[in-house]
Amino acid sequence: MSQQSSNHEPNSLKPLQFGGLSIWPPIIQAPMAGYTGSVFREIQRENGCAYCYTEMVSAKGLIFGGDDSEEILFHTPGDRPLAVQLFGEDPEFVAKAARKVLDPSYGGFEAIDLNMGCPARKVTSPGSGGGLLKDLPRAIDMVRAVKEASGVPVTVKTRLGWDRSQDPCEIASALAEAGADMLVIHGRTVSQGFSGSADWDSIYRVAECVSIPVVGNGDITSAEEAVSKANSGRLAGVMVGRAILGNPFFFAQCLDLLRGQEKREYSTAEKMAVAIDHFRRAIERRGPRRGLLEMRKQLAFYLRGVKGASKLRDRINHESNPEGVIRILEEAAQS
């Protein structure tokens, strides 16, 4: 199966290609738990994002139920191509979750991504997420088991190692040999968490060690930086996380640059119009109470850089009526 993103156009920048998928531009959305749900992804796609990930889903939660896995997996038919990201410690269990998630009742996914980078202690201590890097044979077994179970491309999102004592090339080569179709490397170690800065030289070196596509990730803050790193000729693509929070125009600006145009700047009013749209859709999909709670943190990002942002955030956090929140955002649009 070959799937082409609809906005592909002639450009020297090659699409990101793996497992029969072809993604252009090769600048993709990072999974972010608590943020990158279905409405967020819709907004990003409408503004030029060609490939998205779900938030990470617990294999155990998926099999045993009782957590929010089902909600995380929800996506609309237009939200494609989409990777579902799984985490867990036991290869056979994660493979079982992969089989389950690919049941057509979940709406379909183009790829299974395995989380081998999350540094949260509750994830690493049982040996999942970044904890898998402390037990490479288990990480390898997981890739093999999920490949065998799934029939869709299997990708891995990982880091440069558990700590600096590990050789990132050794990790990447082992994952590639186990059958991973693509790797995303966040240029930090798991022990580092989010401290320090992403080490792009090490990401580039990893890309030289393996023959599968490598996507670089970490600390990209602007469309210029995303395009220049994607254009470096050293990577198959780049992934952007925090810089797209509350910033719906990031991918549109990347497309401007890729087309050789000036990057369009957007006014506060334009940004608030998207924030209101995002908010309304979240309320509709999640209901007023959940929608409002979930949107508070998203709106805090939308308000970054807006005049009087901290007061506006405070007012939103104390507003329990969705129409009241919209009025505050309309007010922000005037600033």
Ligand X SMILES: Cc1cc2nc3c(=O)[nH]c(=O)nc-3n(C[C@H](O)[C@H](O)[C@H](O)COP(=O)(O)O)c2cc1C
Contact residues: ligand X, CB under 6 A: 30-35, 55-56, 85, 115, 117-118, 157, 186, 217-220, 240-243
CB 185 within 8 A of CB 216: yes
Cis peptide upstream of residue 81 (ω within 30 degrees of 0): yes
The helix/strand/coil state of 87 is: strand
Rounded least distance, CB 221 to ligand X, Å: 8
Rounded least distance, CB 310 to ligand X, Å: 20
Q: Closer CB to ligand X, residue 5 or residue 58?
A: 58
Q: Closer CB to ligand X, residue 91 or residue 216?
A: 216
The pair of three-digit structure tokens given for residue 83, joined into one six-digit string: 């990777």
Rounded least distance, CB 145 to ligand X, Å: 19
CA atoms lying within 13 Å on the CB side of residue 11: 22
- In the chain, DSSP assigns E strands to 3-4, 16-18, 21-23, 27-29, 52-58, 82-87, 111-116, 154-159, 182-186, 214-217, 237-240
Please identify which of the residues 49, 52, 118, 254 carries the catalytic annotation.
Answer: 118
Q: Closer CB to ligand X, residue 5 or residue 217?
A: 217
Determine the residue with CB nearest ligand X. Answer: 241
Active site residue 209: no
Angle in degrees, CA 26, 31, 35, rounded to 5: 125
CB 239 within 8 A of CB 217: yes
- Residue 64 CA to residue 100 CA, distance in Å, equals 11
Q: What is the DSSP string of 283-326?
A: HHHH-HHHHHHHHHHHHHHHTTTSTTHHHHHHHHHT---HHHHH
Rounded least distance, CB 159 to ligand X, Å: 8
Q: Closer CB to ligand X, residue 118 or residue 236?
A: 118
Rounded least distance, CB 128 to ligand X, Å: 11
Q: Closer CB to ligand X, residue 119 or residue 291?
A: 119
Active-site residue list:
118
